[in-house]
């Protein structure tokens, strides 16, 4: 026969189980667990309520709940200027909870304001997230209290603007008081800037254009055409003023190839492409591959004021695609076409009805832009070609930036955030070199368990360029899409 104490114990246990099935009217889960586990005060989700007066689709913005660091935040920041001073929230919890309160501190009319607001699913008290915000969650039985720091992130600058910092501007490496010409190329990780002064030729080398350069005064033994300076994957190339082609492994010691060209177009793989100096010019390469045959230069192919020949690789291409834009034709007219080279064949790749105007001496850049969702404001990176600077057919400066997202097949005027800023001078025949700089951040909370704290940011370095009078500009500008400097979120 069971003892009286044993029967009483069973009754008490039954009462506890029955009580645990009781539903709290303000929560999303029927389960109430009496223990000191921190999960009893765990936030499952945090969202802003819809408010078209603040921002379209505000309730679709994703917020991360980080239970390890007790933080709640939106990885994809809201657009610049979003007003976050009068917002409503919606919370869900892991289990039934007790009191939930917001503690807000912000500035109002020059003084510090502190609000304590109790949350419920039917609350109509707006919240000011312009300062600090703490969410306090108490478990149903009052044994556990958990506090979360809330960050409603808003961009402080236009994330998709191409910014050219005045403070980051530098003089050309190796420049003197009387610079006549320059050209900058890249071979592997090495950036090489060749400058002609009134008295000599100087080659400067670096792997970091924002850092220090090693400058050497060259003893060439020939008079170079500085604007022909180019690089393949494994060598530098240079024409002299008579058109003889020279090559070098290090940019310091040069040897003739025995080849004469009218123009160097640019490097591709382990060779350099160019135009012969024959009476009937041919599209040539050096060194020539087995079976290669030079072909006639098309009448609409540019022979001077070419953009850089820029290579890019994408998952849908078999070989790197080289692209150049605009230039002056043999008959003196200025072209508007985009020419592509796939390792074997040259072809005009843009549409005849394309909006890209006739331009010469443009800067061509293979870079990135972003599409931003109008629903959740998530940004998706897109490979993008940019055409900047140069001169129009009538000789006036081009200050309009054009963009293409399909390898130069079609072009359109870029958004205002990508346009040439007022503080950059008009210029043609400038070279753009993309160099990654390592950016780091100690800020840890992200959507992933192992956040990225160091990442490469591709900066555009814009070297030299000439004004409308043909005078070399002693400038190195540094540009970047602001969003590329933000800490990666995946």
pLDDT per residue, tens digit, the chain (490 aa), is: 444 444 444 434 444 333 333 333 344 443 434 445 667 899 999 999 999 999 888 999 999 999 888 999 988 888 888 999 999 999 999 989 999 999 999 999 999 999 999 999 888 889 999 999 999 999 998 889 999 999 999 888 788 899 999 999 999 999 999 999 999 999 999 999 999 999 999 999 999 999 999 999 999 999 999 999 999 999 999 999 999 999 999 999 999 999 999 999 999 999 999 999 988 999 999 999 999 999 999 999 999 999 999 997 655 556 788 999 999 999 999 999 999 999 999 999 987 777 899 999 999 999 999 998 888 888 898 999 999 999 999 999 999 999 999 989 999 999 999 999 999 999 999 999 999 987 765 554 444 444 556 778 999 999 999 999 999 999 999 999 988 888 665 4
Strand partners, 284: 274
**pLDDT value of position 243:** 97
Burial label for 138, CB within 10 Å (0-12, 13-18, 19+), is middle
Cβ proximity of 307 and 292 under 8 Å = no
Half-sphere exposure of 151 (CA within 13 A, CB side): 17
What is the C-alpha to C-alpha distance for residues 326 and 301, in angstroms, rounded to an integer? 9
Nearest by Cα to 187 from 109, 253, 270: 270
For 242, residues 6+ apart whose C-beta sits below 8 A from its C-beta are 260
**pLDDT value of position 456:** 83
Nearest by Cα to 489 from 458, 429, 445, 456: 445
Cβ proximity of 92 and 83 under 8 Å = no
**pLDDT value of position 56:** 87
CA geometry: angle 425, 427, 433, nearest 5 deg: 100
**pLDDT value of position 439:** 72
Cis peptide before 12 (omega within 30 of 0): no
Rounded to whole angstroms, what are the CA distances from 130 to 81, 113, 152?
A: 12, 11, 8
Domain boundaries, the chain: 26-151, 162-172+301-485
What is the C-alpha to C-alpha distance for residues 448 and 444, in angstroms, rounded to an integer? 10
Which CATH number applies to 26-151?
2.60.40.2340
What is the C-alpha to C-alpha distance for residues 149 and 132, in angstroms, rounded to an integer? 8
Residues in the chain: 490
3-state secondary structure the chain: CCCHHHHHHHHHHHHHHHHHCCCCCCCCCCCCCCCCCHHHHCEEEEEECCECCCECCHHHCCCEEECCCCEEECCCCECCCCCCCCECEEEEECCCEEEEEEEEEEEECCEEEEEEEECCCCCCCCECCCCEEEEEEEECCCCCEEEEEEECCECCCCCCCEEECCCCCECCCCCCCCEEEEEEEEECCEEEEEEEECCCEEEEEECCCCCCCEEEECCCCCCECHHHCEECCCCEEEEECCCEEEEECCCCCCEEEEEEEEEEEEEECCEEEEEECCCCCEEEEECCCCCCCCEECCCCCCCECCCCCEEECCCCCCCCEEEEECCECCCCCECCCEEEECCCCEEECCCCCCCCCCEECCEEEEEEEEEECCCCCCEEEEEEEEEECCEECCCCECCCCEEECCCCCCCEECCHHHCCCCCCCCCECCEEEEEEEEEECCCCCCCCCCCCCEEEEEEEEEECCECCCCCECCCEEEEEEHHHHCCCCC
**pLDDT value of position 376:** 83
What is the C-alpha to C-alpha distance for residues 178 and 383, in angstroms, rounded to an integer? 39
What is the C-alpha to C-alpha distance for residues 245 and 277, in angstroms, rounded to an integer? 11
Cβ proximity of 335 and 320 under 8 Å = no
Cβ proximity of 36 and 143 under 8 Å = yes
Burial label for 112, CB within 10 Å (0-12, 13-18, 19+), is exposed
What is the C-alpha to C-alpha distance for residues 286 and 269, in angstroms, rounded to an integer? 11
**pLDDT value of position 445:** 45
What's the pTM? 0.76
> How, if at all, do strands 71-73 and 145-151 pair?
parallel
């Amino acid at each position: 026969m069971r003892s009286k104490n044993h029967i009483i114990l069973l009754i008490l246990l039954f009462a506890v189980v029955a009580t645990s099935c009781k539903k709290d009217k303000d929560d999303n889960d029927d389960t109430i667990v009496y223990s000191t586990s921190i999960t009893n005060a765990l936030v499952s989700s945090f969202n802003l309520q819809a408010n078209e007066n603040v921002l379209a689709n505000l309730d679709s913005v994703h917020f991360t709940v980080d239970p390890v660091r007790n933080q709640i935040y939106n990885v994809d920041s809201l657009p610049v200027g979003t007003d976050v001073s009068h917002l409503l929230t919606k919370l869900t919890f892991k289990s039934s909870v007790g009191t939930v309160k917001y503690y807000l501190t912000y500035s109002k009319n020059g003084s510090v304001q502190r609000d304590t607001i109790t949350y419920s699913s039917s609350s109509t008290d707006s919240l000011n997230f312009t300062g600090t915000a703490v969410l306090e969650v108490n478990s149903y039985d009052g044994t556990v209290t958990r506090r979360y720091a809330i960050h409603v992130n808003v961009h402080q600058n236009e994330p998709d603007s191409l910014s050219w910092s005045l403070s980051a501007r530098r003089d050309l490496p190796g420049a003197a008081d009387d610079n006549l010409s320059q050209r900058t190329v890249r071979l592997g990780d090495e950036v090489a800037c060749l400058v002609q002064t009134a008295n000599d030729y100087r080659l400067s080398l670096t792997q970091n254009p924002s850092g220090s350069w090693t400058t050497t005064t060259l003893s060439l033994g020939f008079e170079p055409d500085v604007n022909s300076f180019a690089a393949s994957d494994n060598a530098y190339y240079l024409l002299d003023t008579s058109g003889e082609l020279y090559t070098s492994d290090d940019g310091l010691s040069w040897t003739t190839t025995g080849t004469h060209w009218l123009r160097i177009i640019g490097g591709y793989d382990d060779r350099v492409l160019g135009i012969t100096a024959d009476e009937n010019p041919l599209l040539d390469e050096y060194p020539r591959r087995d079976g290669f045959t030079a072909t006639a230069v098309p009448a609409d192919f540019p022979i001077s004021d070419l953009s850089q020949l820029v290579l890019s690789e994408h998952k849908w291409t078999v070989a790197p695609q080289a692209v150049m834009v605009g230039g002056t034709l043999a008959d003196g007219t200025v072209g508007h076409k985009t020419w592509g080279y796939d390792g074997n064949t040259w072809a005009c790749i843009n549409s005849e009805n394309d909006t890209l105007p006739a331009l010469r001496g443009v800067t061509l850049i293979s870079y990135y832009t972003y599409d931003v969702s109008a629903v959740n404001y998530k940004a998706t990176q897109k490979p993008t070609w940019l055409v900047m600077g140069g001169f129009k057919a009538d000789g006036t400066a081009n200050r309009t930036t054009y963009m293409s997202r399909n390898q130069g097949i079609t072009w359109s005027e870029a958004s205002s955030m990508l346009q040439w800023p007022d503080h950059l001078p008009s210029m043609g025949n400038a070279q753009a070199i993309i160099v990654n700089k390592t950016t780091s951040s100690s800020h840890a909370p992200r959507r992933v368990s192992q956040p990225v704290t160091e990442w490469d940011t591709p900066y555009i370095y814009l070297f030299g360029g000439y004004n409308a009078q043909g005078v070399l500009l002693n400038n190195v500008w540094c540009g970047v899409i602001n969003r590329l400097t933000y800490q990666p979120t995946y």
